[in-house]
Structure 1
Amino acid sequence: MATSNRVLLGLFGHPISHSAAPAMMEAAGAAVGLDVRYHLIEVAGADEGVIRRILDGVRLIGFAGINVTFPYKQAVIPFLDALDPGAAQVGAVNLVTVRDGRLTGHNTDSTGFLAGLLGTVGEAAKSGPAVLIGAGGAGRAIAWALARAGVPEVRVVDQDPARAASLAAEASGWGSGRFVPDDSVPAAMRGALGVVNASPAGMLPDTSSPVDAALLEAGMWVADAVYHPPVTPLLAAAGAKGCAVMPGRAMSVGQAEDGFRLFTGRTAPPGVIGAAFDAHVR
């Protein structure tokens, strides 16, 4: 929690030059009278030694905390002093707070996605099977949210079948629904009523979609964790088919609102973080 007017925050990941996090956090700080300085810590291919040194720097320099994004949401865990219960269950961290020199990992991707899903898809999420594409850090957080939302069956697909199987086995204990690994997106999509992209597919400069448009049907709901661009190829195809869509904005804004409270102990006024996101991501 911030104890002075100036708050030093950051984001660790790669690639992150497009990130809306600085705009969102600095706008939230200004709205409650805090001087938030948000820095991008962009490092490609960081090994364990580099990750340890970066986190030691965060601990020593005076950061109130940092966000963590692809590809380090799981890699940072061994170098933290503690995990909150939600992050421990998810097995991934997107936010680290610094208190008295101790680093604690949290996961606001999970709560942010859940809030977005309930606000856009609502009860329809409980109506039938959903496909989750991507079983990395973001995929694990979204799996937690899907379990909490009451999705009855989630079919997990990943480029690494072992990772999909591991997540499915763990997540089956997170709620009343079941999680099953699947070999391919086309196979998983048979009879599905929802689909979530938790992979980097469609994030600029990539323009691919993780789902062939022919597999989408009116009446389905489609969510994408990618927010750059605001309308990804997947969401564009889903919208054209008459699907209900949840853009990456919902998850990004939701996790930032939760994150700001963890970093500062303050709540951003309604709409401030969303407006900062919209001004940054066009």
Structure 2
Amino acid sequence: MSWLCGLVGEGISSSRSPAMHEREAKNMGIPLVYRIIDTHQWKGSVQNLPDIFHWLERFGFNGVNVTHPYKQAIIPLLDELSDAASAIGAVNTVIFKNGKLSGHNTDWSGYAANFKQTLPNASLASIGQIGAGGAAAAVAYALLSLGAVELKIFDVDKKKAHDLAERLQNLFPSAVVNVAQSAKDAINGASGVVQTSPIGMDSHPGTPFPSSLLTEKQWFSEVIYFPRETKLLGEARSKGCPTVSGIGMAVFQAADAFELFTGLTPARERMLREFD
């Protein structure tokens, strides 16, 4: 058997996903091809998603990953959702099987695995989160699943932040989930800060907040993995903050997606070592 997989997103021509999946498939001795479907290259948009998935299914794809900005927009097109994807409200992996499209979320499990491995003793007493989009929902779900006591969410889109906070509060009633009015309010007094917005990607350069808001007593986590080190991650490390880069999350979410695509278990530590 062979597998045909891919990634649907905008501005993703430099994604490392094809290399990760195809290299691990080669290591395991199985034939797998992973293609990029970048709507930016042909000026596509969210309106094109139905046609994209119509043709992916007919071209015989086994599954695809979904990334910014379609992780939430894809949901109405799916026949089934995993429990985690339903709870998070975002999908990053779609499986084509028996004429149905099923949505999953491996961002949360990938983030949780990376965080536990990198900062096993980090305090989860209070966390400031910047961003409330699809990746943010998965990261917040992961942190609350790991035992976060308080989560303060800031996003420039206040409605998006309120909607996410309300959903998470209902899912984790023993925690305190609220909306911060600014990045400064989210970060001030937090034991750790997680950056989940797209600001810092090569396609969205800059920083979502000044690093002067961070202190060396706080851990800092970034979800962006391209570039390998965002400006903000480098500045946080220079301040002495314990840091978590987005590379581990990228690798572990890919490994979980690979398992959904193929039904086979990849060597996660090998994938992490070979990431480039």
TM category (shorter chain) comes to over 0.9
Pairing 1:55–2:53 present: yes
Query: CA deviation digits over 1:130-169, x for unaligned, max 9?
Result: 1111111001111100110111111111110011011001
Q: Distance in 2 between matches of 1:10 and 1:189?
A: 36
Unaligned runs of at least 5 residues, structure 2: none
Pairing 1:149–2:158 present: no
Pairing 1:33–2:29 present: yes
Cα 1:270–1:145 shift into 2, 3 Å: closer
What letter matches 2:168 in structure 1?
Answer: A
SS in 2 for 1:172: helix
Q: TM-score, normalised by structure 2?
A: 0.95
Unaligned runs of at least 5 residues, structure 1: none
Q: Distance in 1 between matches of 2:34 and 2:93?
A: 13
Aligned pairs for 1:137-216 (under 5 A) are 137-175=134-172, 176-216=174-214
Shift of residue 47, structure 1, vs aligned partner: 4.7
Identity %: 38
Question: Which stretch of the first structure deviates more once superposed, 66-75 or 142-151?
Answer: 142-151
For 1:76, the equivalent position in structure 2 comes to 74
Structure 1 runs of 4+ off > 6 angstroms? none
Shift of residue 255, structure 1, vs aligned partner: 0.1
Aligned pairs for 1:250-261 (under 5 A) are 250-261=248-259
Query: CA deviation digits over 1:180-229, x for unaligned, max 9?
Result: 01111012221111111111111115442223121111121101111111
For 2:111, the equivalent position in structure 1 comes to 113
Question: Which stretch of the first structure deviates more once superposed, 40-49 or 112-121?
Answer: 40-49
> 1:59, 1:102 within 8 Å by CA — same for their partners in 2?
no
Query: CA deviation digits over 1:242-261, x for unaligned, max 9?
Result: 11100000110110111111
* Superposition RMSD in Å: 1.4
SS in 2 for 1:9: strand
Q: TM-score, normalised by structure 1?
A: 0.93
Q: Distance in 2 between matches of 1:228 and 1:47?
A: 22
Aligned pairs for 1:223-242 (under 5 A) are 223-242=221-240
Q: Distance in 2 between matches of 1:120 and 1:151?
A: 16
> 1:125, 1:149 within 8 Å by CA — same for their partners in 2?
no
Q: Distance in 2 between matches of 1:220 and 1:196?
A: 10
Pairing 1:20–2:16 present: yes
> 1:31, 1:268 within 8 Å by CA — same for their partners in 2?
no
> 1:80, 1:105 within 8 Å by CA — same for their partners in 2?
yes
Shift of residue 22, structure 1, vs aligned partner: 0.2
Shift of residue 271, structure 1, vs aligned partner: 2.9
Q: Distance in 2 between matches of 1:79 and 1:207?
A: 31
What letter matches 1:87 in structure 2?
Answer: A
Q: How many residues are treated as equivalent by the alignment?
A: 273
Pairing 1:11–2:7 present: yes
Question: Which stretch of the first structure deviates more once superposed, 158-167 or 175-184?
Answer: 175-184
What letter matches 1:119 in structure 2?
Answer: Q
